Amino acid sequence: MNTQLLGIDWGTSNRRAYLIDQDGVCLARHEDNQGLLAVQGSFDGALADLLDSMRLDAGTPVLMSGMVGSASGWQEVAYLDSQLPLEALAGRLVPLKQRPNTYIVPGVCYRAGSDVDVMRGEETQLLGAVSLGQRDGWMILPGTHSKWALLRDGVILSFATYMTGELFAALAASGTLAALMAAEQLGGDAEDAAFIAGLEQAERRAPLSNSLFRVRARVVSGAMPASDARAWISGLLIGAEFCAALDAAPGAAADGLSLIGSPALVQRYQIAGAHFGLACPVLDPHQVYCSALHALSSPLHR
């Protein structure tokens, strides 16, 4: 029996792969930009290329999470109710019809009255956090679609999604602010100061569309250098996320908060957390994912 498992966090833009043994030890790691947009539906070939680049046998068992299970992914997998304990995900894996020994982790749907939210991929990271002993408190997962999830004894009590990363990317790509955001940044303390100024603007709770336009107004009036715009907008958007999340959950500080994400994003969110008076310890995203893979792989080794 093959005692190795390849886990793939397959998102819209990026793909991260981890090879673990039956004890959950990470044997190899791979990251590339072959997300859904890049592979354009050729998932089978993209997986074959990945196995080849990692020098793995074509029959290696594979466990995938993320947007690969969406309607635009390899095979659509129905959402599970968020009230299901995260540790029960291991019993809900969906076999891929086109390839043996290949499974997809279902996403999760949260409903509260007329409010609905969904996640694909983050549930696996949350399971990893639970497996590492983080069974309670708020988990912040920064990214294209940032998530704030409240755990209670390994169950997602609630969660909310903020399109912070997507908005930042869209503003930088086109529109009135794109040229300002492309201006050379000074870096260091100046960049941090501009980021914090954006956080302070978010605290004023002005309409986001108004605050964003005033970035341009500040630059063209000479009140702010164009080199500050990118960090200022980042602070504004992340600050708006913090304000909304904390307004919705005033007891978040007492519940405790932890961050799971890439170093660059986590650093920004830690600065924001400190600005709002919150300590946000960081969980290593690679360790979290490998821990989740180990928890999910138990039924596959039976």
Do both 45 and 60 map to the same domain?
yes
CATH number at residue 294: 3.30.420.300
Q: Residue 122: pLDDT band by 50, 70, 90 thresholds?
A: very high
Q: Residue 131: pLDDT band by 50, 70, 90 thresholds?
A: very high
Which whole number is the average pLDDT over 116-144? 96
CATH number at residue 200: 3.30.420.310
Do both 15 and 115 map to the same domain?
yes
Do both 196 and 228 map to the same domain?
yes
User: What is the pLDDT, as a whole number, of residue 113?
Assistant: 93
Indicate if the pLDDT at residue 302 is higher than 90: no
Indicate if the pLDDT at residue 2 is higher than 80: no
39-56: pLDDT as tens digits: 999 999 999 999 999 999
Question: Does the residue 157 lie in any domain?
Answer: no
Do both 211 and 227 map to the same domain?
yes
Number of domains in the chain: 2
Do both 74 and 106 map to the same domain?
yes
Indicate if the pLDDT at residue 261 is higher than 50: yes
Do both 278 and 296 map to the same domain?
no
Do both 125 and 208 map to the same domain?
no
* Residue 18 parent element (H or E): strand 15-20
The answer to whether 86 and 155 are in contact (CB under 8 A) is yes
Question: Does the residue 139 lie in any domain?
Answer: no
User: What is the pLDDT, as a whole number, of residue 63?
Assistant: 97
283 burial (CB, 10 Å; 0-12 / 13-18 / 19+) is: buried
Indicate if the pLDDT at residue 124 is higher than 60: yes
Which whole number is the average pLDDT over 90-119? 96
Which whole number is the average pLDDT over 66-74? 95
Q: How far is CA 33 from the centre of its chain?
A: 15
Indicate if the pLDDT at residue 269 is higher than 50: yes
Can you tell me the distance from the alpha carbon of 69 to that of 76, in angstroms, rounded to the nearest whole number?
Answer: 5
Do both 296 and 278 map to the same domain?
no
Q: How many other CB atoms are found less than 10 A from the CB of residue 3?
A: 11
User: What is the pLDDT, as a whole number, of residue 68?
Assistant: 95
14-36: pLDDT as tens digits: 899 999 999 999 999 999 999 99
User: What is the pLDDT, as a whole number, of residue 250?
Assistant: 87
Question: Does the residue 21 lie in any domain?
Answer: yes
Averaged confidence pLDDT in the chain: 94
Q: Residue 1: pLDDT band by 50, 70, 90 thresholds?
A: very low
User: What is the pLDDT, as a whole number, of residue 300?
Assistant: 63
Do both 116 and 15 map to the same domain?
yes
**Poorest-confidence range of 47-51, 78-82, 184-188, 226-230?**
184-188
The answer to whether 104 and 64 are in contact (CB under 8 A) is yes
- Percent of the chain exceeding pLDDT 90 equals 89
Contacts of 140 (CB under 8 A, 6+ apart): 146, 147, 148, 257, 258, 259, 260, 261, 269, 280
Range of the domain at 203: 164-283
Strand partners, 29: 18
Indicate if the pLDDT at residue 251 is higher than 90: no
The DSSP code for 224 is S
Do both 173 and 116 map to the same domain?
no
Question: Does the residue 295 lie in any domain?
Answer: yes
Do both 187 and 105 map to the same domain?
no
Do both 120 and 29 map to the same domain?
yes
Which whole number is the average pLDDT over 89-116? 95
Q: How many other CB atoms are found less than 10 A from the CB of residue 53?
A: 11
